[in-house]
A and B are shown apart, each in its own frame.
Chain A
Amino acid sequence: MSDAIIQMNHVDKHYGALHVLKDINLEVARGEVVVLIGPSGSGKSTLCRTINRLETIDAGEILFEGTPLPQEGKDLAAVRAEIGMVFQSFNLFAHKTILDNVTMGPIEVLGTPKAKAREEAMELLRRVGVDSQAEKVPAQLSGGQQQRVAIARSLAMNPKVMLFDEPTSALDPEMINEVLDVMVELAQQGMTMVVVTHEMNFARRVANRVVFMADGAIVEEAAPDEFFDHPKSDRARDFLNSIMGH
């Protein structure tokens, strides 16, 4: 598995007395799409956030391209710049226009000249279908549009991996697909993705591997068809039954 871009070895994390990540071992290969699912509170979001160290860990190690994640400073920032992240609540910079949101990273972090950054940003916004909104501020856009801008903002950094932390959970139902469509396209283009989601159809269609978590531990890992059709553990069966009930 020399092709692993992310490796997590025996990762543990506690919030006080709460053991939120229990001996996590996970590898993500270049070009792979890994979907994390599980009941709320199972630690899947926390796991996702440890990969770019928005959450610290208590024990174990996380390697990015074979090197342990730096703990702080410029080295950590440099790694973060290579890992895109899309949040549940979009987190677009509220005081900046859509275009400025997308050019912020390239200009401030990569030192891209402004004109070039704007040009590339407009191209990305066209790709996610919100280029007509470039001069508006985030509050003027719908949730689905904002999330697509957030994806464009991450892509502007040319990341090697994209982390999606429940990207559609805060969206109105009619806007979920427009965001998923963008994500499907990204996956088809070979982007390495770690996706925390409750969208089972998306997982089945796009994932190379489904990782099922419960109570802070990885309970089961399998190809999507295998996992959804023949879950091995009781926890996974219960979970799938509870969400597929209708």
Chain B
Amino acid sequence: MSAHVVSMRDALYEAPGPKMRRRIRVVTIFALALIAIGIALVVRQFHITGQLDPRYWTLFTRTTTWAFLAQGFLGTFRVAFTAGAIALVLGLVLMLGRISEAAWLSTVSRLVIDFFRGVPSLLLIYFFYLVIPKYGIKMPSFWMITLPVALAASGVLAEVFRAGVNAVPKGQSEAALSLGMSDSKIMFKIVFPQALRIVIPSLVSQLVVVVKDTTVAYVVSYPDLMQNARVLISNYDALVSMYFVVAIIYIIVNFAINQFSIYLAHRRGTKIISRNDENPV
């Protein structure tokens, strides 16, 4: 199976010849050297400015530090998960409205989508944090961060879904029509399941954006990973080391999301795309 997987690079470029291979080797060595020098410079600067001093790092030996970070991580997870779920559902609804044959519904949906896509999520957060309470609506800080992040993502997801629906060959719905299936059954049984497989990569990048958007939670003082890190920083005066560790945590989380998407794409996508599983090597 894996022998048949064609990467984008294989599809776009021809196989390198001997000269090209030599050049690739030289450039690779050069690039590795540059990266090594870069890292060395950073470490040196850290050393000069005293950032490597143990007092900035010993806090990571305490369980309380990690417990507090874990608490923040849980907050981030709750916000991202809830916002992601809301955005998926709302994005689907907006997309269905957008492709509706009723002109008014399509126009309204497009306006809503463009609004949520166009407005920075921070602005939406300010709206929920500063404007809505003025009208006497009390909202826990959890929703003040979750709703705007969800709304901002829903606009993008609606467009991602729509791109997927448009990418499903017209023959699929024509075949379903010719069987006498209703429009809604065609959408939910034939078109959307295929559209979903097509857009999984874009969907996942958008979920990564959701995770990153949650970091503005400090605006509404919701205890997410970023907010808790800020508390620890002011307690221990360990700015660089703390942000360094937190950055790594975010990278790991988003890397995990990406890996999950690759797993999903392989589990469900290759079934349709690959014609080669019939004759394994």
Contact = CB atoms under 8 A, between A and B. Distances in A.
A87 B272 contact: no
B179 A80 contact: yes
A104 B178 CA distance: 12
A106 to B, nearest CB: 9
User: Which of the listed residues B176, B193, B273 has the most CB atoms from chain A within 10 Å of its own CB?
Assistant: B176
A233 interface: no
Interface stretch (B15-23, B153-161, B167-175, B201-209): B167-175
B148 to A, nearest CB: 35
Interface stretch (A17-25, A91-99, A195-203, A213-221): A91-99
B197 interface: yes
In terms of DSSP, what is the predominant structure of the interface of chain B? helix
Interface string B265-281: 00000011111011000
B186 to A, nearest CB: 9
Interface string B173-216: 01111111110010001100110010000000000000000000
Contacts of B171: 87, 89-91
Contacts, number: 79
Given A93-B190, A108-B189, A139-B273, A78 B179 contact: no
Contact of B174 (A84, A87, A95, A137): A87
A139 B181 contact: no
Nearest to B271: A137
Contacts of A91: 169, 171-172, 174-175
A90 B275 CA distance: 16
A94 B272 contact: yes
A93 B181 contact: no
Contact of B181 (A54, A85, A105): A105
A153 interface: yes
A108 B181 contact: yes
A140 to B, nearest CB: 5
Interface string A62-99: 00000000000010011111111101011111110000
A81 B179 contact: yes
A87 B175 contact: yes
Contacts of A137: 271-272
Interface of A: 52, 54, 74, 77-85, 87, 89-95, 104-105, 108-109, 136-137, 139-140, 150, 153-154, 157
Interface of B: 169, 171-172, 174-182, 185, 189-190, 193-194, 197, 271-275, 277-278
Given A52-B177, A137-B271, 7 more contacts: A77-B181, A80-B177, A81-B180, A95-B271, A105-B181, A139-B272, A139-B273
